[in-house]
Amino acid sequence: MSSDPLLTDDVRSKIMSDPQALLEDQDIMRALVTANDDTRGGNIVDLRGIAMDRLEARLDRLEDTHRNVIAAAYENLAGTNQIHRAILRMMDATRFEPFLRDLRGEVADILRVDVVRLILESSSSDPDPTVAQLSDILSVAEPGFVQDYISMGRSAPARQVTLRQVTAEDEEIFGEKAPYIRSEACLRLDLGVGRLPGMLILGAEDPHQFTPQQGTDLLTFFAGVLERSLRRWLS
């Protein structure tokens, strides 16, 4: 026997006082089971050990799922708070021009996007001086532009919110930042009976900020609030 035993009185007392801690340590238990198997030889199949390995694998998968669910919940909560803050800031404006400038400024900052563009369809060919003054946020397009832009020329009906990765080079939409925009969110706006549709485009340099795999519930809600605000300003 060794004159320096591994299990000293101190170690033994700690194990005896709290054996549950030893059982909950997966590495220690795995080492003990392996050592026990080695003493049995290679001709004996330990069904208990196999079952334990499978249970450990299932536990690892459950823990990963649990972590993913928690992370998704926190991400969804953060996204909800972000949209709520943007809406409250958007509703602070008392005039149309400050409303649009807030969209380009603080609302864009809250949403963490690099470009915000509001496009309104119009059948009138007369230039509007307001549009010229707000050209960095507001554009007027011909009827049918919104549908064509969102569907990219296809005949499929345009959804209210479309998320996609892009390689934008059209300065008419994104201005001088066009070469850097890598993803966009297109929010189709219903401006009421008798009015042509509009569209809000959120552009981001991050190619992963807007992708088709993401949910659109929060942006759909944001688009609904924006629609009602614009109906009031344009009435």
Q: Could you tell me whether strands 161-165 and 183-189 are parallel, antiparallel, or unpaired per DSSP bridges?
A: antiparallel
Q: Is the pLDDT of residue 183 over 50?
A: yes
CA gyration radius for the chain? 30
Give me the chain's average pLDDT, please.
Answer: 81
pLDDT exceeding 70 applies to what percent of the chain? 81
The answer to whether residues 131 and 140 touch, using CB atoms and an 8 Å cutoff, is yes
Superfamily classification of domain 93-234: GAF domain (3.30.450.40)
Terminal-to-terminal C-alpha distance of the chain? 95
Picking from 144, 130, 162, the residue whose alpha carbon sits closest to that of residue 198 is 144
For residues 155 and 141, what is the distance between their CA atoms, to the nearest angstrom? 19
Mean pLDDT of 82-99: 90
For residues 54 and 27, what is the distance between their CA atoms, to the nearest angstrom? 15
Collect all residues with Cβ–Cβ distance below 8 Å to 179 and sequence separation of at least 6: 168, 169
Q: Could you tell me whether strands 183-189 and 138-141 are parallel, antiparallel, or unpaired per DSSP bridges?
A: unpaired
List pLDDT tens digits, range 11-30. 778 778 877 777 677 777 77
Token readout for 196 is 């042509």
Token readout for 56 is 């450990």
Complete DSSP assignment for 75-136? HHHHHHHHHHHHHHHHTT-SSHHHHHHHIIIIIHHHHT-SEEEEEEE----SPPHHHHHTTT
For residues 165 and 205, what is the distance between their CA atoms, to the nearest angstrom? 10
The answer to whether residues 15 and 22 touch, using CB atoms and an 8 Å cutoff, is yes
Of the ranges 35-44, 57-66, 93-102, 135-144, which one carries the lowest mean pLDDT score?
35-44
Of the ranges 49-53, 97-101, 214-218, 222-226, which one carries the lowest mean pLDDT score?
49-53
Cα dihedral: 162, 168, 169, 173 (round 10) = 40
Most confident among 22-31, 72-81, 93-102 (mean pLDDT): 93-102
Cα dihedral: 145, 151, 152, 155 (round 10) = -100
The answer to whether residues 114 and 181 touch, using CB atoms and an 8 Å cutoff, is yes
How many residues appear in the chain?
Answer: 235
Token readout for 146 is 């919104």
Token readout for 216 is 């659109």
pTM: 0.68
Q: What letter does residue 8 receive in the DSSP assignment?
A: -
